[in-house]
Structure 1
Amino acid sequence: MSEKDYNTRTNVQKRLTRLLLLTLTTSLAFMGASCQQSAATATQSTAEVAPQVKEQPSDTRTAIENLKITSPDKLHPRLMATSKDFERIKQLIGTDPQAKAWYKTLQTAAGKTLKEPVVKYELPDGVRLLPISRKVLERTIQLSLMYKLTGEKAYLDRAWGELSTVSDPALFPDWHPIHFLDTAEMTMAAAVGYDWLYSDLSEDQRNTLRTAIMENGLKPALSVYRGKADAKKIATFWKTTTNNWNSVVNGGIGVGALAIADESPETEALSGEILQQAVQSIKSSLKMYAPDGGMPEGPGYWDYATVYIAYFLSSLDSAIGTDYGLSQMPGLSETGYFPLYVEGAGQAFNLGDGGTGTISKAPQLLWYADKFHKPELTYGVKNGSNPMNLIWYKPATVKSPTEAGAPLDKRYVDPETEFVTMRSSWNANDAMFVGLHTGDNEANHGDLDAGDMVLDAMGVRWAMELGSDDYNLPGYFDMNKGRWNYYRKRAEGQNTLVLNPGSGPDQSPKAKTSIESFISEPNRAITIANLTNAYAKDATSVKRGIELQRATQSVLLRDEIQLKSPGGIWWFWHTQAQVEVSSDGKTAILSRSGKKLALRLPPDDEAQFKLMNAESLPTSPNPPKQAVNKGIQKLAIHLEGVEQTAITVQIDLMRGSEEQLPPLEAAKPLSDWPKR
């Protein structure tokens, strides 16, 4: 037996011991493999025979038989939390200040929901039911949790109002399987309501909700798993894709199956096959976290995917006693660090279609911290207010990165994800933070953004990412052509270089670029990126180097470009700061929130700063209805008729009334920079 199998088996044995003591079961046998273990309390003792858990359900009965062992006699609640967990939460609210604060926030939010009308079947953007599904999930968790904690019937009745509405075929004819995220999230909502409220729902109410879960969620999913779905009516690609869709759909559908699995022979057959398929299918997306927990789709989709992974795996643990080895897949134990390293001054490095929201508040970090014994992952969760915080909170799991001795810098090495973040300290309000992205331009939700960077200092984002545009723009997800017409998706809409701009893509859409060297030392961090593949049409070599000095909180940024023939080069830096460019074009002073940052060019350089609007170049496409970037400017450098050049920018803080800047040092070529 491998160490992984042993650890999984041991955890299951502990789980079974507790539940078997509660039910006074004297012995169990399963799958022909047994292990004798005894457990005793002051009043009783029980012997058990524990199953040998496999990493994949061997057939459609495996998960059902495990469920009946761990959650016997239709035991509810069992999704993410048990009755014992809800009792623990009640006690925490009375004794733990953090839990009490979260509860107060939950109470206020639930009170508002009591007064709101139930949802209606509508596609707000004409394409997706997703906002409705998410609202139902949010309300169901909120109201059901409040009912479990208080016993106040108003919360039960209001939760049922929401659940009965979405379960009524006359009001919700389906859960919109053509966009299966909508279906998965609604299934998740119905499953939580069914499970957490089970003992207080009438048999008719259970039947209503169970039927809706089966007909609107599980059966459409099963048709996809079996390869029999009509792709014109039901989205099917999620079964094998490696992106967030796979995690979210398998997670939501899997939780739905766990909720109703043991109700009848029909639900056993349906849920057993669903669980067998979901455990296998979700591996497609779990693989993208290898080897170090990075996520190529950026921080927003990391949040979306990993919360559904946590929903599913924590529900497998609590309902069945095993996640069939899914949590042991390479990189998953490390992915909780992603929010810590991708965030600077209260904002994420919002690659691709990501937003700047602080994903370090994500509630699933509490689960990852507890599951993988990494308390530092919860660093920012105390600042959040998600109801799931109470479900996954264990007071002992809260610890800061500084207390844990977490490195200040991080390189994510997967070729699709690859990027580096560097910082002067873990003090988000004051630290200098720099992120540099390379990776794969074909990554899902990706941009033409090789070499893109963000920079934060003194609590301000000085070099910003524009993020997403309207998902419903024509061709927005056409990675072969249409996407690259939109400013925010093109290289000119990033903080990187553009060579010989024209109407076509301004980097190779199929480019794969990489970090060539990365050094993290106590006093400094240095990284060099090879961007040549993104500009192969026009250049023989393009490299970008960044050095961060921690003590002075200064940054040196250097680009070296070798064109195939004399041509044009643009250098861009997007910012919401006020910008003042000196008369000689060698200095740019950025001001925001009463703070200042200086960017300087060597006096003998041919480069000069200029200020531009954050909009398409005259030679670029400029399709209608794309976002207008109000309040955003871009600092630019433009060179023409050059074949080989270097652009060196020194970046320094200007603190308080001190306007004196350190002297510029002679620029060194990247070949002379330290490497590793």
Structure 2
Amino acid sequence: MSVARCSMVALVVALLLAPRTQAQGDPLATLRPEHPRLLITADDFEQLSERRASDPELDAMLSQIVEAADSSLDAPLLERKMTGRRLLSISRQARDRITQWAMAYRLTGDERFAKRAEEEMLNVCEFSDWNPSHFLDVGEMAAAVGLGYDWLYDQLPADSRQRIREGLRDKAVALIENDYWWQRTTNNWNSVCYGGMAIGALAIAEDEPELARRVVEMAVANNPRALREYEPDGVYPEGPGYWNYGTTYQVLLIDTLRTALGDDLGLCTPALESSGAFVAHATGPTGKTFNFSDGGDRVGAPTALFWIANEANTPAWAKATARLTSSRKRKRSSAFDPLWRSPSPESGEPLALSWRGRGHQPVAMFRTSWTDPNAMFLAAKGGRASTNHGHMDAGSFIFEADGVRWAVDLGGVNYNTYEQKGINIWDRKQGGERWKMYRYGNWTHNTLTVNDKEHNVDGFAELTNYAPLIEDRGELEVDLSKVLPDVQQASRQFVFDAANRQVTINDQLEGVKPGAEIRWTLVTRAKVDIDGNHVTLAQDGKQLAVTLDSKTSGSWTATPYDPPEGFFGEPLKGVTVLTWNAEAPESGACEMTVTLKPAS
């Protein structure tokens, strides 16, 4: 579907969403009667096999899936083993195993794969439940069992089909009648839970039409809440890592509706498509992402990006990201990759070297090349801390050059580790326990801290000036006035100077109480050497010069990452928190300019 078509659909949905299903009748009226009908049909499976001979990249993908399926054939049956309050790891193992085995059977005809998928589906359907108290677990398990049931429908004995169908109904689909908070939320839970539930419901729709109808109607009514989070430019507020999670299930929801019902019912939006640009531009020359919020920096080539790139007719997004991450082996072989991958060559305009995205967490990225692994790369953000999975990171940035990520974002923590200690890491209010997680606060992000205080959690940092990279120069300004406590005005300006191969960061504070402590922070995994106002970072045989210029007197300090008393977390070996510390002068105005220049 083109962007233009998505735009028209989005407009119609905005006007008619509430009465849509009633006005147009039964959403199941166009249900494809035969199986498989979720994401792929029998003809599609045949075409995949036929294309292998002329498409080496596709052949490699399919071979990897079959190899992964074969390697797990002898794995023991999954157990309903909780990790803290979650069954999620078991649900994900079930999804990977069952979809790989089912696809491997469709590709090879080897009945071992079909039999093993049947055994695992029967096994998980015997669990007491799929842990609805943490409904992501249900959503992912419903996707696993629903796809296995659908893709192997004709291979399953009648008795097994019935038992799997009943398990899917009782442990997932029928729960749509209950009232859960995720049904109306805006974050990744909406996409994951509705995506999984739609797969489960439409897999068994001919036998459970009322429940299937209810799931589809609920999804059409409430999933747009999650879609609005991508507006206006595609920036996912929870960061690239959670984009991969939430958007994969968003795409599963849309594609399931299309293949099963012939219509996505308005759940394709221009902002969703634009998120492909966000993920591509957020991936640096090292292959790591700009991992703000709780996500890690090693996302890899995101599965959903294949689909997004096709929808937007911009295969360059997926191809550029795959190229940047090609040196890293993916954690999982996704059975969805060959379904969504475009066979078309990279075409159209080349990707720009800079990009700005507005929204709840506005960001901007600049780079000197898409193909040079030693390219210079800067990514910076505004936004607020109180968004889902958010950190106190307004004004923060990451910086790469010479194949090294010099300024890093440490990302999130293992949730269960701290939940088991009774720490409420989800308390995002001002002074909430979340901000006692050392790596979540402003103290360990590449931003400013005033008087050792938290950022204002609901203060929004706008990107007030953005100049794209033209003639080797790009600029970005972030207004931090509503984020930093104890200041009247605060701004941070980035200048990306490709010609001189350097980045300058100019901070200006006004209305600061004289004597207030001002701290400039850069977190790094490099070795740090301080010489007056000059700092040299060294890593992997490369160097970065960090130079500070300010009329306000201050000094550099390099401290190993180790949460101080009153904060939660563990020391991180090899991580240094580099800070410049100063006191505000009598004028209440402070300006500092830091230059980052690769010295290799």
- Fold conserved between structures, TM > 0.5: yes
1:183 to 115, 138, 154: 138
Indicate conservation of the 8 Å contact 1:574/1:635, yes or no: yes
- Cα deviation for residue 532 of structure 1 reads 1.0
Structure 1 window deviating more from structure 2 (547-556 vs 604-613): it is 604-613
Superposed CA deviations along residues 45-95 of structure 1, whole A, max 9, x for unmatched, are: xxxxxxx9999422796221111xxx1xx3011111111111111012222
- Cα deviation for residue 648 of structure 1 reads 1.0
Indicate conservation of the 8 Å contact 1:609/1:636, yes or no: yes
CA distance in 1, matches of 2:271, 2:349: 19
Q: Which residue of structure 2 aligns with residue 450 of structure 1?
A: 394
CA distance in 2, matches of 1:629, 1:131: 25
Structure 1 window deviating more from structure 2 (346-355 vs 627-636): it is 627-636
One-letter amino acid of the counterpart of residue 333, structure 1: E
Q: Which residue of structure 2 aligns with residue 573 of structure 1?
A: 522
1:613 to 556, 560, 567: 560
Asked if 1:346 is matched to 2:270, the reply is no
Indicate conservation of the 8 Å contact 2:368/2:377, yes or no: yes
1:151 to 109, 119, 122: 109
**After the TM superposition, which residues 180-329 of structure 1 pair with which residues of structure 2 at under 5 Å, given as runs?**
180-224=135-179, 236-263=180-207, 267-327=208-268, 329=269
Superposed CA deviations along residues 327-354 of structure 1, whole A, max 9, x for unmatched, are: 1x34112111121111112111111111
Q: Which residue of structure 2 aligns with residue 57 of structure 1?
A: 21
CA distance in 1, matches of 2:239, 2:36: 34
Asked if 1:545 is matched to 2:493, the reply is yes
What SS does structure 2 have at the residue aligned with 1:534? coil
Indicate conservation of the 8 Å contact 1:555/1:650, yes or no: yes
CA distance in 1, matches of 2:304, 2:477: 33
2:589 to 644, 647, 650: 644
CA distance 1:285–1:99, change in 2 (3 Å): same
**After the TM superposition, which residues 59-98 of structure 1 pair with which residues of structure 2 at under 5 Å, given as runs?**
62-67=26-31, 71=32, 74-98=33-57
Superposed CA deviations along residues 424-456 of structure 1, whole A, max 9, x for unmatched, are: 221351211111111122111001111111101
One-letter amino acid of the counterpart of residue 550, structure 1: A
Asked if 1:134 is matched to 2:92, the reply is yes
CA distance in 1, matches of 2:7, 2:386: 40
Structure 1 window deviating more from structure 2 (627-636 vs 126-135): it is 627-636
Q: Which residue of structure 1 aligns with residue 462 of structure 2?
A: 514
1:387 to 332, 335, 345: 335
Superposed CA RMSD:
2.2
- Cα deviation for residue 464 of structure 1 reads 0.3
Indicate conservation of the 8 Å contact 1:598/1:652, yes or no: yes
Indicate conservation of the 8 Å contact 1:601/1:608, yes or no: no
Q: Kindly report structure 1 stretches of 4+ aligned residues shifted beyond 3 Å.
A: 3-8, 52-56, 381-385, 602-605, 615-618
Structure 1 window deviating more from structure 2 (605-614 vs 428-437): it is 605-614
Superposed CA deviations along residues 585-608 of structure 1, whole A, max 9, x for unmatched, are: 221111111111111123976343
2:570 to 621, 627, 631: 627
Indicate conservation of the 8 Å contact 2:444/2:577, yes or no: no
Between the aligned residues of both structures, percent identity stands at 30
Q: Which residue of structure 1 aligns with residue 378 of structure 2?
A: 434
- Cα deviation for residue 5 of structure 1 reads 9.4
Q: Which residue of structure 1 aligns with residue 483 of structure 2?
A: 534
What SS does structure 1 have at the residue aligned with 2:221? helix
CA distance 1:350–1:603, change in 2 (3 Å): closer
1:601 to 548, 565, 581: 548
CA distance 1:138–1:459, change in 2 (3 Å): same
CA distance in 2, matches of 1:462, 1:101: 34
- Cα deviation for residue 616 of structure 1 reads 4.0
Structure 1 window deviating more from structure 2 (158-167 vs 130-139): it is 158-167
Structure showing greater radius of gyration is 1
Asked if 1:167 is matched to 2:125, the reply is yes
- Cα deviation for residue 627 of structure 1 reads 2.9
CA distance 1:5–1:452, change in 2 (3 Å): closer
Indicate conservation of the 8 Å contact 1:589/1:599, yes or no: yes
Indicate conservation of the 8 Å contact 1:60/1:273, yes or no: no
Q: Which residue of structure 1 aligns with residue 304 of structure 2?
A: 364
Superposed CA deviations along residues 167-211 of structure 1, whole A, max 9, x for unmatched, are: 11xxx1001000000000000001000100001011111111110
One-letter amino acid of the counterpart of residue 587, structure 1: H
Q: Which residue of structure 2 aligns with residue 466 of structure 1?
A: 410
Superposed CA deviations along residues 260-298 of structure 1, whole A, max 9, x for unmatched, are: 1113xxx01111111111121111101111111111111
Indicate conservation of the 8 Å contact 1:76/1:198, yes or no: yes
Indicate conservation of the 8 Å contact 2:102/2:113, yes or no: yes
CA distance in 1, matches of 2:398, 2:155: 51
One-letter amino acid of the counterpart of residue 358, structure 1: V
CA distance in 2, matches of 1:422, 1:564: 35
- Cα deviation for residue 641 of structure 1 reads 4.9
CA distance 1:604–1:540, change in 2 (3 Å): closer
CA distance in 2, matches of 1:133, 1:5: 32
Asked if 1:482 is matched to 2:433, the reply is yes
Q: Which residue of structure 2 aligns with residue 230 of structure 1?
A: none
CA distance in 2, matches of 1:600, 1:6: 47
Indicate conservation of the 8 Å contact 1:289/1:330, yes or no: no
CA distance in 2, matches of 1:616, 1:531: 25
What SS does structure 2 have at the residue aligned with 1:395? coil
CA distance 1:428–1:337, change in 2 (3 Å): farther
CA distance in 2, matches of 1:55, 1:321: 19
Superposed CA deviations along residues 281-322 of structure 1, whole A, max 9, x for unmatched, are: 111101111111111111111111110011111111111111
Q: Gaps spanning 5+ residues in structure 2: where?
A: 10-15
CA distance in 1, matches of 2:24, 2:121: 29
Indicate conservation of the 8 Å contact 1:251/1:311, yes or no: yes
Q: Which residue of structure 2 aligns with residue 418 of structure 1?
A: 362
- Cα deviation for residue 410 of structure 1 reads 1.4
After TM superposition, the score normalised by the length of structure 2 is 0.91
Indicate conservation of the 8 Å contact 1:55/1:324, yes or no: no
Superposed CA deviations along residues 227-279 of structure 1, whole A, max 9, x for unmatched, are: xxxxxxxxx1111111000111011101111111113xxx0111111111112
CA distance in 2, matches of 1:5, 1:633: 46
